[in-house]
Amino acid sequence: MIRKHTTFLRLGAFALASLASGAQAQPEDCLIQPWQQVEIRSPVAGLVKAINVERGSVVQKGQVLIELDTGVEVATLNGARYRAQMQGEQRSAESRLKFAASKQQRFDELNKQKYLSQQDRDEATAEAQVAEANLLEARDNRELAALEARRLTELVEQRRLRSPLNGIVTDRQQNPGELAQPGEGGKPILKLAQIHPLRVELVLPVGRHGSIKPGATAQVTPEAPFNKGRYAATVKVIDRVVDAASGTFRVMLELPNPEGKITAGVKCQASF
């Protein structure tokens, strides 16, 4: 009787373990989403001159997507660059300084020989100092023009909106000839999505908290008609705060999609 009872307990424990293992093996509902989505807005108010992409276009990080009108800014920039290269004022100041320095040297010699008054010598010294200050001013003006040219270059660059990521264009809301408005209140010109890698979101019951670790691998199967295979995804984030109302927590997985074959925005099943 004791042996039968022990055997029965062992079989019962094995059955419970099998059930628990089977429960853990059950696939979980999930959602495949873009890794990130961004809205491209203008940092300044301006007229949209050109939009170089369409909805569905593949874009690369750093690619120029939108060009605003820069006529006034470019004209001002050209003026600043020209002033930065002008040498007439500086050369004139250098000539005056050279002449004033030579004059001061002659007056010093004449003053030593008592052929010239101290006042005349002092006036020559003052002229040399003024000439030297004029030369410094001319050099400063060229440097200021160069700084202004760099500032205007950055201003022009602000009107060439580049892609912050590798991805695709999901929406285009403005066209050339329309006015782009800055800030969150303005209408976005384009919307982009990064689809490599993809983000897989799961909501799991609190009882499974601790059973899944960062770095673990799950097999993700998209729903029909996108279920063309199973894909390996890696656990990246596990929420440390549980939703008390629903008794659940969220898990985020990273799903590689280098060729863009996996469609984002679809439901899926994930098995650990």
| 4 within some domain | no
Q: How large is the C-alpha radius of gyration of the chain?
A: 37
Is the pLDDT assigned to residue 166 strictly greater than 80? Answer: yes
Give the residue numbers spanning the domain of 47.
Answer: 28-68+168-271
| 121 within some domain | yes
Domain match, 190 and 260 both: yes
What domain count does the chain have?
A: 2
Calculate the alpha carbon distances from 181 to 79, 151, 178, 188, 239 in Å.
27, 22, 10, 8, 37
Question: What order of strands is seen across the sheet that includes strand 160-162?
Answer: 160-162, 64-68, 46-51, 179-180
Domain match, 147 and 258 both: no
For the chain, give the percent of residues with pLDDT over 90: 50
CATH code of residue 254:
2.40.30.170
Q: Which residue has the higher pLDDT, 148 or 12?
A: 148
Domain match, 230 and 147 both: no
Calculate the alpha carbon distances from 171 to 139, 192, 267 in Å.
51, 7, 21
Model confidence pLDDT, tens digit, residues 2-15: 444 444 444 344 33
Lowest mean pLDDT among 9-23, 114-128, 235-249: 9-23
Is the pLDDT assigned to residue 24 strictly greater than 60? Answer: no
Model confidence pLDDT, tens digit, residues 33-65: 999 999 999 988 899 999 999 999 999 999 999
Is the pLDDT assigned to residue 199 strictly greater than 80? Answer: yes
Q: How much is the pLDDT for 253?
A: 97
Q: Which residue has the higher pLDDT, 15 or 83?
A: 83
Other Cβ atoms within 10 Å of 193 Cβ, number: 19
Domain match, 75 and 38 both: no
Is the pLDDT assigned to residue 117 strictly greater than 90? Answer: no
Is the pLDDT assigned to residue 20 strictly greater than 60? Answer: no
User: What is the residue-averaged pLDDT of the chain?
Assistant: 84
Q: Degrees (nearest 5) of the Cα angle 167, 173, 175?
A: 105
Is the pLDDT assigned to residue 246 strictly greater than 60? Answer: yes
Domain termination site, one of 133, 158, 183: 158
Tell which residue, 231, 232, 239, 236, has the closest CA to residue 204: 239
Domain match, 64 and 199 both: yes
User: How large is the average pLDDT for residues 211-234?
Assistant: 93
Q: Going by C-beta distance under 8 Å and a sequence separation of 6 or more, which residues neighbour residue 204?
A: 28, 212, 248, 249, 250, 251
User: How large is the average pLDDT for residues 239-264?
Assistant: 94
pLDDT band at 223 (very low <50, low <70, confident <90, very high): very high
